Structure 1
Amino acid sequence: MTKRSIQGLLAVTFAAITVVSLSSCTKSPSYSDAVDAVGSFNTFSQPELDVTGWQDKPLPDSAVGVMPGAPITVKAHNGDISQVSVVGPDGAVKGKVSDDGASWVSSSALDYGAKYTLTAAARGVNGENARKISFSTSSAQNFAAATSVTDDGETVGVGQTVSINFDAPVANKRNAQNAIKVTTNPPVEGAFYWINDSMVRWRPEHFFTPGTKVSVAVRTKGIDLGDGTFGQNNLNTNFTVGRRMVSTVDDKSKIIKVWVNNKVVRTMPTSMGKDSTPTNTGIYMVAERVPSVVMDSSTYGVPVNSPGGYKEVVYYASRISFSGIYVHSAPWSLGDQGVDDVSNGCLNVSPDNAQWFMNHSLRGDVVEVAGTVGPTLPGDDGLGDWNVPWAVWKKGNA
């Protein structure tokens, strides 16, 4: 090694020693000698089990008044479900583990006024955990069955709302709504509104777009609907929105214009309600269409044998209100149609026009009336849903 190399090596060594010496002059870090107790690795890795009922609310041990129709859910955290057993008076309750193994949900309703025992286990990365609880279900005093106004698979007009009827009053409307799921394709925002204590509707802000598919799942079986009444059944129903057909009439012209996909396809002279029995203004939905119907004034408080009373058969009748307004054949008023209002509230048209309207209408087609001396068709009429302002409808009344 040369003298120059030895001098260089000594310089580097001295520099390194200097750096170490300088570093050692800084303040040394201090550490507490108190060590907190922590859980073992086994504790951290053991799975946890949660049991929930209606609306994902925790289901504690010894719970009472559990809704028989509310699904029981068991969820595992930090592990997978390895076993779930729910046993009651009729044996084991059916259920299914999710594809990811993290949860189990019951798939059948429980009995009323019965006691159940739930045992669940889950496996984590380092061991298992288990949980066992018991609970009792509610007893029912009455039942309410749900039905759909629309038939399953029906093609309807753009104004058809989702219409679910119960055969008994529903006191806990919020529970009923939470048990009903409406799905549309394409998706559209909508809201529930109660027409009365046994009729709930769902609709968007504006008429449906033609081609929209609507699916309704009612899961009220075993759900507490209030005042001792429980849901009697579950229900699945679907409908498809067909072409857009909207009929408009103004009392000034007394001409019904039928618009299909925004084009006028037919005009029909009409005679609407006279001033003493005016036709309501507003938006109507077409309901049943029948070849003939008996119209009886006593059904709305006017005796048949009194002045203004009547009971007669009319033909080619399309109902557009629960209060008894129809578009129907009225050959006796042909001379007044398009000229004067002489009816008891219905839209009188010629036999040919009435038959055409009946044959071409779908449930949920729209009729818009303007310019009469009558008030707006009430939103709770049953076919006047669209007369409730959207802000009011969206807020709801459950």
Structure 2
Amino acid sequence: MGRRPVVAIALGALLAVLVAASAPSGNSTLVTTPSPVAQKSPLHLSLTPVDQAPAVWPAEPVTVYATNGKLTQAALAGADGTPVAGTLAADGSSWTSTEPLAYSRSYSLSATGTGEDGRAVTATSNFHTITPDNKVAVVTTPGDDQVVGVGHPITFALDEPVRDKAAFERAVSVTSEPSVPGGFYWFDDRHVHWRPAGYWPAHTSVHVRAKIFGKDFGGGLFGQADVTTNFTIGDAVITEADGGSHQMTVSINGQVARTAPISMGKPGSPTDNGTYVVTEKLAHMIMDSRTYGLALDAGGYVTPVDWATRISAGGIFVHSAPWSVGDQGYRNVSHGCINASPEVANWFYNLAKPGDVVTVTNSGGPTLNPQDGLGDWNIPWDQWQTGGNR
């Protein structure tokens, strides 16, 4: 009983201390921890190719990227001081070359910028481009700005055999308006064609780009130079020559323009059946059978001919043949060409353009070799899609 007041006093004293400790005081000081000051980073420049790179592909862009700051200038030049053009991004984040380099050349790249810390930084790279064992050039048809017929394939003639054909195909783009699906077919290692599944629509615009420079086509072979061409498909002129009826019907954009009598190859030298494409026109020429192996003493000939429209590399023409007018419409008497009267041949000559289609039926001959001129259409589409000698 006598110890309870002592406990009460002690508890009261403790409470008083706690209250005093929690009460504000006019002399108290608020202690705070200061926030750390953000450190500003120095500029980092990333140059590609890296310094001393020994075998750079010249078609790949040269780049500079900046982090923790801005790029203010960059310069690329060959060993002789010739500058290479490039573009600096508006936000200073990068620089990219805008023209290709050359094979087997040394280059110097210099870049300068300012970091977040306000300090200037410069970086350099010196490198060398590859030296190909060999280079390949390409020639394409149709030519730039040419107007051609609906049957004209796009041809690529290479001056060196290509081993990696898939790489070549990836380097080529074909775009058109309207868009037309198509594909490549390799006749051999140096000749590849691209054509649509069916004839081009009339009045199509076509753009072809063979971006082969700097591309590796296998075996140390690299592309020599890019090639571009833009051409237009004209009216759809399609001729049907029938060796049975001895008639030739010409349609323009689906409408029959004219039907005329003709004479094709006689039984001993029948005209090949199949689909031909116009490739050349000669107002006057000398036809010489010896050019395809028929001697004069074996029934050959050397004959002046007018209004000759070539439809095969092997020498098949639609041409004027005044000597066979009496046979035209009745019988086949030529050595393989399509004979027409001078007036009909002249009319056809003036109408025809490279790429126009001539189909021959009922001639009694074999099917035209697809490699005879532009005989591409004699290869069915499902076979064409296999790529040929790919």
Q: Deviations over 1:309-366 (max 9, x none)?
A: 3332211011111111111111111122122222221111111111100101121111
Please name the residue that 1:211 is paired with. Answer: 203
Closer/same/farther in 2, CA of residues 394 and 335 from structure 1, 3 Å limit = same
Contact 2:69 2:116 in 1 (8 A): no
Does the aligned pair in 1 maintain the 2:207–2:230 contact within 8 Å? yes
The TM-score with structure 1 as length reference comes to: 0.73
- Please report how far the alpha carbon of residue 110 of structure 1 lies from its aligned counterpart in structure 2 after TM superposition: 2.4
**2:151 & 2:234 partners in 1: Cα distance?**
10
1:216 is displaced (CA, Å) by 1.6
Q: CA RMSD in A?
A: 3.6
Q: How does 1:154-169 map to 2 (within 5 A)?
A: 154-169=146-161
Matched, 1:383 2:368: no
The counterpart of 1:287, out of the listed 252, 262, 279, is 279
Q: Say which SS state the counterpart of residue 214 (structure 1) adopts.
A: strand
Q: 1:79–1:102: 8 Å Cα contact kept in structure 2?
A: no
Residues 79 and 108 of structure 2 are in contact (CA less than 8 Å); yes or no, is this contact kept in structure 1? no
Q: 1:155-194 residue pairs with structure 2 within 5 A?
A: 155-194=147-186
Structure 2 gap segments, 5+ residues each: 1-38
Distance 2:52 2:237 in 1: 57
Contact 1:47 1:123 in 2 (8 A): no
Distance 1:360 1:241 in 2: 15
The number of equivalent residue pairs is 349
Contact 1:65-1:136 within 8 A present in 2 as well: yes
CA drift at 1:131? 8.5
Shift of 1:191: 1.4
Relative distance call for 1:78 and 1:245 in structure 2 (3 A) is: farther
Question: Is contact 2:70-2:113 (8 Å) kept?
Answer: yes
Between the aligned partners of 1:88 and 1:344, the Cα distance in structure 2 is 62
Quick check: 1:165–1:200 contact (8 Å CA) kept in 2?
Answer: yes
C-alpha distance in 2 between matches for 1:72 and 1:240: 32
Equivalent of residue 373 in structure 1, options 359, 364, 377: 364
- 1:72 maps to amino acid: P
Judge which range, 368-377 or 145-154, deviates more.
145-154
Distance 1:303 1:344, change over 3 A: closer
Structure 1 position 182, deviation (Å): 1.6
Q: Which of 78, 83, 86 is matched with 1:88 structurally?
A: 78
**CA deviation profile, 1:50-80 (whole Å, cap 9, x unmatched):** 95xxxxxxx7876655444x23264869999
Match of 2:313 among 309, 317, 322: 322
- Kindly provide the amino acid, as one letter, of the partner of residue 272 in structure 1: M
- Given candidates 130, 136, 139, the residue that maps to 2:131 is 139
CA separation in 1, counterparts of 2:70 and 2:313? 53
Residue 111 of structure 1 pairs with residue 99 of structure 2: no
2:355 is matched with which residue?
364
Query: CA distance change for structure 1 residues 318 and 48 in 2, over 3 Å: closer, same or farther?
Result: farther
Q: In the aligned structure 1, how far is the partner of 2:280 from the partner of 2:244?
A: 28
Letter in 1 for 2:283: P
Q: Do the aligned partners of 1:49 and 1:122 also contact (CA within 8 Å) in 2?
A: no
Tell me what 2:13 maps to: none
Partners of 1:326 and 1:150 in 2: CA distance: 20
Q: Within 5 Å, which residues of 2 pair with 1:215-234?
A: 215-225=207-217, 229-234=221-226
Question: Are 2:61 and 1:72 equivalent residues in the alignment?
Answer: yes
Contact 1:195 1:382 in 2 (8 A): no
Whether the aligned pair in 1 keeps the contact of 2:110 and 2:123 (CA below 8 Å) is: yes
Measured against aligned partners, the alpha-carbon deviations of 1:142-174 in whole angstroms (never above 9, x if no partner) come to 554433332322222111222233344444433
Say if 1:201 and 1:66 are closer, same or farther in 2 by CA, change over 3 A.
farther
Q: Secondary structure of the residue that 1:354 maps to in structure 2?
A: helix
- 1-structure distance, mates of 2:180, 2:173: 13
Letter in 2 for 1:71: E
Contact residue 71 and residue 107 of structure 1 kept, 8 A: no
Is the contact made by 2:161 and 2:189 (CA closer than 8 Å) also made in structure 1?
yes
Provide the rounded CA distance (Å) in 2 between the counterparts of 1:80 and 1:391: 57
3-state secondary structure, aligned to 2:346: helix
Q: TM-score, normalised by structure 2?
A: 0.75
Query: In structure 2, the residue corresponding to 1:276 is in which secondary structure?
Result: coil
Residue 177 of structure 1 aligns to a residue whose secondary structure is helix
Say which SS state the counterpart of residue 395 (structure 1) adopts: coil
CA–CA separation in structure 1 for the residues paired with 2:167 and 2:91: 30
Query: Equivalents in 2 of 1:239, 1:373: separation in Å?
Result: 36
Cα distance in 1 for residues equivalent to 2:89 and 2:240: 52
Q: Which residue of 2 aligns with 1:340?
A: 331
Of residues 228, 253, 256, the one that matches 1:261 is 253
CA distance in 2, matches of 1:271, 1:80: 80
Structure 1 residues 374, 290: closer, same or farther in 2, change over 3 A? same
CA offsets per residue over residues 355-381 of structure 1, 9 Å max, x none?
100101121111111122222222222
Structure 2 CA distance for aligned equivalents of residues 230 and 337 of structure 1: 54
Between stretches 126-135 and 157-166, larger displacement belongs to 126-135
What letter matches 1:352 in structure 2? E
